[in-house]
Amino acid sequence: MSADTAVQSTYQSSYAKLQSWVDEVAALTQPDEIYWCEGTPEEWVRITDRLVEAGTFIRLNDEKKPNSFYCASDPNDVARVEDRTYICSVDEKDAGPTNNWMAPDDMKQVMRGLYDGCMRGRTMYVIPFVMGHLESDHPMFGVEITDSAYVVASMTVMARIGRDVLDKIEQTEADYVPALHSFGAPLVDGATDVAWPCNDTKYIVQFPEERTIWSYGSSYGGNALLGKKCYALRIASVMGRDEGWMAEHMLILKLTNPEGVVKYIAAGFPSACGKTNLAMVEPTIPGWTVETIGDDIAWIRVGADGRLYAVNPEFGLFGVAPGTGWDTNANAMRTIEQGNSVFTNVALTDDGDVWWEGMTDEPPAHLTDWKGNDWTPDSDQLSSHANSRFCTPIKQCPTLADEYDDPNGVPLDAILFGGRRKTTIPLVTEARDWTHGTFMGATLSSETTAAATGAVGVVRRDPMAMLPFIGYDAGDYFGHWITMAKNNDESKFPKIFYVNWFRRDDDGGFLWPGFGENSRILKYVIDRVEGKVEAHETPIGLVPPTSSIDTDGLDVTEEQLAKALAVDTDEWAAELPQINEWFEKFGDTLPAVLWTELDGLKARLGL
Ligand code: GDP
Ligand code: PGA
Ligand code: MN
């Protein structure tokens, strides 16, 4: 670095590769100062004080939510931007038909232009982090550079960050994923700052071969906390393909039956389709307990015994706020009650607490809504954005399982796929084998939600709930699922099921009450794993008769449950052309066995 670009820095790394990358970014972005994050409690105080001073954070009432902050984003920066998200592989073909692509050099040229001077008047933060355990055999390091103190505070909650991570990176001269973020709002010529700086131009870019991430213009979680979706899913899915493991958009839970027998289940549902809720569910069936291991991401490897072991690489929860309440997800409420949290785009109460739709039956008489306006119960607007979020340390979750701290993870007994479908998809269907389960995952469909910008409620294919997160050709990704079983002993792999909590009756109401009652389906799944209950062969897979579901104390008629479980040939006849069209997108990367599965399904349906 030449003398004229030298800026004040709190630290110089002894690891030349890392220091020269930091220097290079500083020379390009031209910050006023460089701050290396240490992850200490004192640093949290300094960063959050700074955010309060800048008007980004409002400190909540210490008696309601200790050490916690309210934050409202720019109304145009509230969700992941899938149309601005790119997989910049060297070959366009490797990004596949489901990702946006641009040639890496072209993208870098565009983004260098945007990054040029983008941190003027700002502090550049360097955040050393590790996804997964620092003690694991191969710690998965990253370093995020950002100009956003909001990102620093959020990353402190969401990932293991700081001095001990940096020490280990330096001591072992480890590989790390360089992850560059800027909100793209330089402060120049005495301009006044805004509470939520961002830019109308947004790019969320992964370079899979280089294992590098460049993000620009947004500070929203999935766009800016680069350890999460960008690294732990998009980049990690590519690492997993190359190294024989899997990075999946799945919760992980531990289920214990009344006899004390423990099982582990992972479940992949699209964003805002119930992962966080199921991960913390309070079973309504007596004697059963659920403990939480992860609520969003699972890294899955084959263990020495041939079973699939899942680890949650995250350190916090970034949950959808609306719909989270004492009736639906009491454990999430208990987690956030302890404080140390950031709430974004929810409503602020007059006594310095937060509120959102679904937290309590009765809304407070007066609120400040997420846009800063007065709000009363007869307002025609929602008080909180539909994708408003709580960001909370997972260690505060009262149901966190001890296994969370095991770097080797937990052996999976079952994998669930699920989505939001008003019709067609039964409450629970079991795959005949791993290949059929891969077919179920590959054809998974769901109505779009507010977790990404764009229309809400539109049915789309969301394979394995990974549509926005597969870092390579989705056809090759299905092939990787098939290969995992081919290269290992499939008989040791978990059974695969497809669930749908969101099927509706003719009046538009949910056929299945969901939430705590989903424990009945978890029990059924484990009963099937143990061969204890019956399931019927149907054209789409194994579906339980109502008698196989524990309905003791359940407020659902047998007729209604039968409707929730029904396989409707007319609905499937409408579904098949969509699956066909979906598969045709992939050309020769789609594994032939998936076409065979589709042909079999058609034949069994008599279509
Ligand atoms: P995630 O983004 O996949 O973690 O989804 P969440 O668990 O945060 O849930 C997203 C939304 O779906 C929230 O509004 C929940 O209240 C709602 N939800 C979660 N589980 C169920 C369920 O079993 N039934 C119904 N009807 N809604 C649910
Ligand atoms: P989620 O993802 O909706 O799956 O929790 C969060 C995000 O979009 O960043
Ligand atoms: Mn979630």
- Of the ligands numbered here, which is closest to the C-alpha atom of 280? 1
DSSP for 77-92, please give it.
-SSB-GGGEEE--SSG
- Of the ligands numbered here, which is closest to the C-alpha atom of 321? 1
Q: Quick check: 125 and 181 in contact, CB under 8 A?
A: no
Per-residue pLDDT band at 3 (split at 50, 70, 90):
very low
Q: Quick check: 141 and 174 in contact, CB under 8 A?
A: yes
Tokens representing residue 347 in the block: 């409503």
- In this structure, the answer to whether residues 358 and 467 fall within a common structural domain is no
Q: Ligand 2: which atom is nearest the Cα of residue 249? A: 4
Q: Quick check: 32 and 38 in contact, CB under 8 A?
A: no
Picking from 243, 268, 297, the residue at the C-terminal end of a domain is 243
Asked if residue 64 is part of any domain, the answer here is no
Q: Quick check: 328 and 518 in contact, CB under 8 A?
A: no
- In this structure, the answer to whether residues 466 and 596 fall within a common structural domain is yes
pLDDT above 80: residue 579: yes
Q: Ligand 2: which atom is nearest the Cα of residue 228? A: 9
Q: What CA–CA distances, in Å, run from 426 to 420, 497, 571? A: 11, 11, 11
Picking from 209, 243, 277, the residue at the C-terminal end of a domain is 243
- In this structure, the answer to whether residues 125 and 178 fall within a common structural domain is yes
What pLDDT, on the 0 to 100 scale, is given for residue 2?
44
Whole-number Å distance, alpha carbon 324 to ligand 1 midpoint, is: 8
Asked if this assembly's ipTM is beyond 0.90, the reply is: yes
- Of the ligands numbered here, which is closest to the C-alpha atom of 79? 2
Which residues does the annotation place in the binding site?
A: 80, 220-222, 229, 249, 271-277, 296, 387-389, 420, 515-518
Q: Quick check: 391 and 318 in contact, CB under 8 A?
A: yes
- In this structure, the answer to whether residues 297 and 225 fall within a common structural domain is no
Q: Per residue in 28-80, pLDDT tens? A: 999 999 999 999 999 999 999 999 999 999 999 999 999 999 999 999 999 99
Whole-number Å distance, alpha carbon 271 to ligand 2 midpoint, is: 5
Per-residue pLDDT band at 5 (split at 50, 70, 90):
low
Q: Which of 405, 80, 388, 37 is nearest to 233 (CA)?
A: 80
Task: Give the residue numbers spanning the domain of 381.
Answer: 317-396
Beta strands in 321-434 (DSSP E): 342-344, 347-349, 354-355, 367-368, 374-375, 389-393, 410-411, 414-418, 428-430
| CATH label of the domain that carries residue 95 | 3.40.449.10
- HEC per residue, 277-294: HHHCCCCCCCCCEEEEEE
- In this structure, the answer to whether residues 578 and 464 fall within a common structural domain is yes
- In this structure, the answer to whether residues 414 and 370 fall within a common structural domain is no
Q: Ligand 1: which atom is nearest the Cα of residue 320? A: 8
Q: Per residue in 119-175, pLDDT tens? A: 999 999 999 999 999 999 999 999 999 999 999 999 999 999 999 999 999 999 999
Does ligand 1 have an atom closer than 6 angstroms to the CB of 30? no
Whole-number Å distance, alpha carbon 168 to ligand 3 midpoint, is: 30
Whole-number Å distance, alpha carbon 264 to ligand 1 midpoint, is: 20
The CA-to-CA distance between both ends of the chain, in Å, stands at: 68
Q: Per residue in 347-375, pLDDT tens? A: 999 999 999 999 999 999 999 999 999 99
Q: How far apart are CA 207 and CA 215, in angstroms?
A: 11
Whole-number Å distance, alpha carbon 501 to ligand 2 midpoint, is: 19
- In this structure, the answer to whether residues 323 and 233 fall within a common structural domain is no
Asked if residue 150 is part of any domain, the answer here is yes
Q: Atom 22 in ligand 1: which residue has the minimum CA distance?
A: 514
Q: What CA–CA distances, in Å, run from 164 to 103, 125, 169, 317? A: 37, 17, 9, 22
Q: How far apart are CA 158 and CA 196, in angstroms?
A: 20
Please tell me which residue in 230, 273, 391, 397 is annotated as part of the active site: 273
What's the angle, vertex CA 37, arms to CA 34 and CA 40, rounded to 5?
145
Q: How far apart are CA 450 and CA 225, in angstroms?
A: 18
Asked if residue 260 is part of any domain, the answer here is yes
Strands in 251-256's sheet, in edge-to-edge order, are: 289-294, 251-256, 262-268, 414-418, 495-499, 428-430, 541-543, 536-538
| CATH label of the domain that carries residue 291 | 3.90.228.20
- In this structure, the answer to whether residues 91 and 160 fall within a common structural domain is yes
- In this structure, the answer to whether residues 580 and 600 fall within a common structural domain is yes
Picking from 396, 431, 461, the residue at the C-terminal end of a domain is 396
| 273 carries an active-site annotation | yes
What pLDDT, on the 0 to 100 scale, is given for residue 1?
44
Q: Which of 442, 487, 522, 446 is nearest to 266 (CA)?
A: 522
45 contact partners, CB below 8 Å, separation of at least 6:
none
Q: Quick check: 12 and 1 in contact, CB under 8 A?
A: no
Q: How far apart are CA 370 and CA 376, in angstroms?
A: 13
294 contact partners, CB below 8 Å, separation of at least 6:
250, 251, 252, 279, 310, 311, 312, 314, 394, 404
Mean pLDDT of all residues in 282-294: 98
- In this structure, the answer to whether residues 326 and 375 fall within a common structural domain is yes
- In this structure, the answer to whether residues 387 and 468 fall within a common structural domain is no
Asked if residue 68 is part of any domain, the answer here is no
Q: How far apart are CA 418 and CA 521, in angstroms?
A: 12
Does ligand 1 have an atom closer than 6 angstroms to the CB of 274? yes
Number of domains in the chain: 3
pLDDT above 70: residue 191: yes
Asked if residue 1 is part of any domain, the answer here is no
pLDDT above 60: residue 254: yes
| CATH label of the domain that carries residue 343 | 2.170.8.10
- In this structure, the answer to whether residues 587 and 542 fall within a common structural domain is yes
Q: Atom 7 in ligand 2: which residue has the minimum CA distance?
A: 222
Asked if residue 496 is part of any domain, the answer here is yes
Does ligand 1 have an atom closer than 6 angstroms to the CB of 273? yes
Q: Per residue in 440-470, pLDDT tens? A: 999 999 999 998 889 899 999 999 999 999 9
Asked if residue 2 is part of any domain, the answer here is no
Q: How far apart are CA 145 and CA 126, in angstroms?
A: 5
pLDDT above 60: residue 568: yes
Asked if residue 560 is part of any domain, the answer here is yes
504 contact partners, CB below 8 Å, separation of at least 6:
422, 423, 510, 511
Q: How far apart are CA 133 and CA 60, in angstroms?
A: 31
Query: Residues with Cβ within 6 A of ligand 2?
Result: 80, 221-222, 229, 271-272, 296, 318, 451
